[in-house]
Each structure stands twice: as C-alpha cells, then as structure tokens.
Amino acid sequence: MKVKRPQLETECGDSDWFTIGQGVRQGCILSPYLFNIYAEYIMRLALDDFVGQVSIGGRQINNLRYADDTTLLARTAAELQDLIERVKQSSEEYGLYLNVKKTKVMICGGKNDHHIQADGEDVEVVNTFNFLGSLIVDGGGCSQEIRRRLAMARSSAINLTDIWKDRGISRNTKIHIMNALVFPIATYGSETWALGAVDRKKIHAFEMWCWRRMLRISWKERKSNDFVKNQIGAKVTLCQKIDKNKLQYFGHISRREGDNLEKIITQGHVEGHRKRGRPKVRWADGIKEITGMNICAAHRFAQDRSGWNVIINRVTKGQS
C-alpha cells in the first residue's frame, strides 16, 4: 500500500514528499495480530536468559500484556531495573521507544524507597495507578476502586435528574435506564473485587440512594428501604448481581481447558508471607462465602455448567 503524505514541518524546514511502502489500513483486522507477533518477538528477546520473576501457583510470571499496555513483574528492585533495561533495549532495536513519563513503578508489600531509572531519569513510584479502567493499589485491596466507581456512577445518576423528574417517562423505563446507564458504571470490573462487610454496606447504600433519587423520595419522608424496593419491584440487590458476575466469571475460567493464566492466578498460591495482624479479605474468600465451598470444591462443581448455574440462581434468588 502506498500513501502520499503531505509535507512535514521540522526544525530543518519542510521535508520532501515520501511514500509509505508497507503497513495496513486503519481498522484492518490484521493489525492486532501483527502487533502481537511484533511485541511477542521483542519480549522474547528481552527475556532471554532473564532469571527474575514472580511465582504464582508454581508458574513463573514476569510480564502481563494487553495491546500496548505492558506490566513488568519482579521480586526485587534490582531485577525490575534489569528487566526494564532489557525491554527498553530490545524495543529500541525494532523502532519502539519507552515513554518514561507514562511509566510507573508500584512496590507491593515494601517501602517505596527504591529508585528505578530509564533513560537516566527516575521512574515515578506510585501507590495507585489506573490500569485498563480499574484502580490498582499497592495493598491489593479494592475499597478505593469501589469508592471511585460509586462516585462515578453517582455523578451519572445526578446528570440524569431531568429524566427522573420527567412525569412523561414511565417508572419501568426509568428503571431500565438506571440499570443500563448507572449501575454498569458502578459494577465495572466487579468480577475481580474482594468484598468486605464495609464494602457491601457502601454498595447497598449507593443502590438505595439511586432508587430514592429516581422515585424522588426524600430521606425526610422516613420511607424504609423495603418500601423503596417494593415500589420498583426489585428482588435482587446490586451486591447479589456482583456476586452473580463473580460466580459466572469463576465458572468461565474454571471450565477453560489447559493451563491458562486466569486459572493459575485465581487458584494458585502466591509466594511470600502475610504480614502480622488480621488477614485481608481475598478474592477466593468471597467465592467461599458466596457458595459455602472452598476454592477447590467450587472448581470441581463449576465443571458442570448446568449445576453451576443452579448455584448462581440460588445466590440471586432465581432472578437475572
């Protein structure tokens, strides 16, 4: 494919006309495949003879990639520094360059007193960062992400105030709008949440706030939550919908054949030791709380799709 490009302004003036002799059209279905092959080759060169990695379920993991978003994993700062230099060098050999300003370092389970460099500049060390739309924190919890999601959904509900006040729109239509435009914002990525009691209370309070705002029921009217639920005919709470999403996701990855990464991460043991004190709620603890089974037993039950759907319907009281 040859495309005639306009003149480009540079520090030395305008450049001459030139043509592109290779490439694909924008939106071509080959683009993601070609990029994945390209990135895979570069990563293999970078990881040649590299020994640093994180062990999860006996599998050594040192990188996670989604399109051009690459996450590098290492046990120590020295290993991470070596890995960054390797990836940077192999990428530059094939025309890809590391953007230091967009690169972040997160240290989990340790002090943020390490200095990682790239191109002679210190890479910013952060406690949180946004990855694929979800907030990742160094402590591994999801409370901050839940608060952020609820705040975004609350703002969306406020922006729809004119619809809630419109008497020409039926209540059923408003309920559908709430379920389609507000609640999905709040539950984005909820399949990966490890919910504690406090988190469930916040989600329930947000849900009731949304229904009260839609029905224009003031707190001063002293109407109970049960009254509000009866008005909208809600039989399944938002927390139950989140539990259903988690169980569906768990069943999906459990039934996948082969030694896939999702199954290893959700069921494998992460190397290291917990700190002293009360242990934090884990994602697997949520599956155990919902189903009453440990993670291994739940994995066996999930192999039967119809039987697993029975468990899911029991959790959500037979409602979708």
In the chain, the amino acid numbered 213 is R
Mean pLDDT computed over 76-88: 86
- Which amino acid is located at 102 in the chain? K
- The b/e string for 147-174 (b: 16+ C-beta within 10 A; e otherwise) is eebbeebbebbeebeeebeeeeeeeeeb
Residue 3 pLDDT greater than 60, yes or no: no
The tokens describing 68, both together, are 């051009």
- Between 148-157, 201-210, 260-269, 297-306, the lowest mean confidence (pLDDT) is in 260-269
Mean pLDDT of the residues in the chain: 84
Question: Could you tell me the two tokens for 188?
Answer: 């984005």
Confidence band for 38, pLDDT divided at 50, 70 and 90: confident
* DSSP β-ladder status, 121-122 and 117-118: antiparallel
Q: Which of 201 and 17 is assigned the larger pLDDT?
A: 201
Kindly report, residue by residue over 203-251, the tens digit of the pLDDT: 999 999 999 999 998 888 888 888 888 888 878 889 999 999 999 999 9
Q: Nearest 5 degrees, angle CA 246-CA 250-CA 255?
A: 155
108-149 pLDDT per residue, tens: 876 766 778 877 778 888 888 888 888 888 877 888 999 999
Give the pLDDT band (50/70/90) at residue 10: low
Where do the structural domains in the chain lie, given as residue ranges?
20-137, 142-234, 241-269+281-316
Per DSSP, 19 falls in state B
pLDDT band for position 1 (cuts 50, 70, 90): very low
E strand segments, 62-131: 63-66, 69-72, 104-105, 117-118, 121-122, 124-125, 128-131
Residue whose structure tokens are 């406020």: 158
**Cβ neighbour number for residue 213 with a 10 Å cutoff:** 18
pLDDT tens for 178-192 read: 999 999 999 998 998
- What span, in angstroms and rounded, lies between the C-alpha atoms of 266 and 259? 12
Distance CA 193, CA 156 (A): 22
DSSP bridge pairs for 13: 10
In the predicted model, is pLDDT for residue 320 greater than 50?
Answer: no
Q: Which residue has the tokens 């001063």?
A: 220
Give, in order, the Cα–Cα distances in Å from 20 to each of 7, 77, 202: 13, 42, 55
The pLDDT of residue 178: 94
The more confidently predicted of residues 220 and 177 is 177
pLDDT exceeds 90 at position 292: no
Q: Euclidean distance between the first and final Cα of the chain, in Å?
A: 50
The strand pair at 124-125 and 104-105 is best described as parallel
Whether residue 104 contacts residue 93, with contact meaning beta carbons closer than 8 Å, is answered with no
Beta bridge partners of 134: 131
Looking only at the bridges linking them, the beta strands covering 128-131 and 134-137 are antiparallel
Does the pTM of the predicted model rise above 0.85? no
The answer to whether the CB of 114 falls within 8 A of the CB of 126 is no
